[in-house]
Chain A
Amino acid sequence: MNLSKEKVNGILVVTIEEKEANLSKSDRFKELIVEEINVGERKIIVSFKNVEYLDSSFLGALVGVLKILLPLNGKLVITELNADIENLFELTRLNKIFVIKNDLQTAMLDF
C-alpha cells in the first residue's frame, strides 16, 4: 500500500499512491491511518487523485476509520474523487456521511 503523507497547517494530508484501492490494500490502509490516529492525528484528509476505482473492501476501511475518528472528535475529509468513485459514494448514500470536497484547497478550508 503506497501512501504519501504531508502535514499542512496541523492537518494530515494522505494521498493514496495507487490506481486500485481494493481488497488487497484495504486492511493495510486502515492500519496505517489508525496508526496516525493513535499518535494523535485528528484532522485527516485523504486524497484519491491517483485512484481509478475503489471497491467495497476499501470503502469498508474508510467507514472503519470514520467510526474510530468521530468519537475522538476527529474529522476526515476525502477529496479528488473521479466520477466513478463519486458515483459509488452517491449510490451508497455515503456522500451524506463523509465530508467530500472537490479539491485539496477546499478540503483544507473545511477544518
Chain B
Amino acid sequence: MEEPAININLKIPKDADGILNYIHQVVSALQERIALDEAIVRNVKLILVELVTNSIKHSNDDNALIELSVAHPTLTIQKVDKGLQIEFAEDSHKIPFVDVNKTVMVSFSETKKHHIKILDKYQFKFLDAYKEGITIDYMPEHFGLYIITLASDSFVYQHDPKLQENRFIVNLKLRD
C-alpha cells in the first residue's frame, strides 16, 4: 500500500545562532513521520544547513521557509522565499534564459562557478560540482551550493516572475 504524502513547513530562522535548533526541529519532525537511514539523515542535515545559511545570507524575506514532502521513494526539500531572481556575475548567462536544454557554466562570483543545465526560461539544475577535478588551487572557499548538489540526487532552482518567488528544490531518493 502506498504511504500518504508527508508535508512539513517550517519558517527559517533569521540568524545563524538559530540553525542548530532548527535542524534538530526539522529532522525530528521528519523522523516522527518516516523511518530514515542514518546516511540519508546526514545528507538531509547538510542540505538543511546550507539552505538555511543561503537564506540567512541572501534573502530579505522574513517569511522564508523550508518545505519538506515525502512521496515514496522521493524526499523533496524546498527553500521558498520571495524576492528577486538569483543573480549571476555580469559575464554569465541571465534569467530568463534563452539556451534551454543546454549545459553552461555560470559564475556567482569570481570564486563560485557552477555547471548548470538550463531546464526552461526560469529554471535550472545544478550539475557535477567537481567536473574539473579537485586541487587546492582550484578549490573555492564557498561550498554551499556544491554541498547541496553533492548531497542530493537532484538540485533545481526555479524562479516565478509573477509571484516574485524563488524555490531551491532538492530531491533525495530514499532507500528501501
A interface with B by C-beta (< 8 Å) = 19-20, 22-24, 52-53, 55-57, 59-61, 63-64, 66-67, 70, 83-84, 87-88, 91-94, 96-97
Contact = CB atoms under 8 A, between A and B. Distances in A.
Contact of B50 (A20, A56, A84, A93): A56
B45 A92 contact: no
B88 interface: no
Nearest to B42: A87
Contacts of B147: 56, 59, 88, 91-92
26 contacts: A20-B16, A20-B17, A20-B19, A20-B20, A22-B19, A23-B16, A23-B57, A24-B16, A53-B23, A56-B50, A56-B144, A59-B143, A60-B140, A60-B142, A63-B139, A70-B136, A83-B42, A91-B43, A91-B46, A91-B147, A92-B143, A92-B150, A93-B130, A94-B134, A97-B134, A97-B139
Contacts of A22: 16, 19, 49, 53
Given A20-B16, A20-B20, A23-B16, A53 B136 contact: no
A62 B139 CA distance: 11
Nearest to B16: A24
Interface string B1-26: 00000000000000111011001000
B151 interface: yes
Interface of B: 15-17, 19-20, 23, 38-39, 42-43, 45-46, 49-50, 53, 56-57, 130, 134, 136, 139-144, 146-147, 150-151
Nearest to A25: B16
Given A23-B16, A57-B142, 20 more contacts: A20-B16, A20-B17, A24-B15, A52-B20, A53-B20, A55-B50, A56-B49, A56-B144, A57-B53, A60-B143, A63-B141, A64-B141, A67-B139, A83-B42, A87-B42, A91-B46, A92-B143, A92-B146, A93-B134, A94-B134
A24 B17 contact: yes
Nearest to B48: A53
A64 B56 CA distance: 22
B19 A61 contact: no
A82 to B, nearest CB: 10
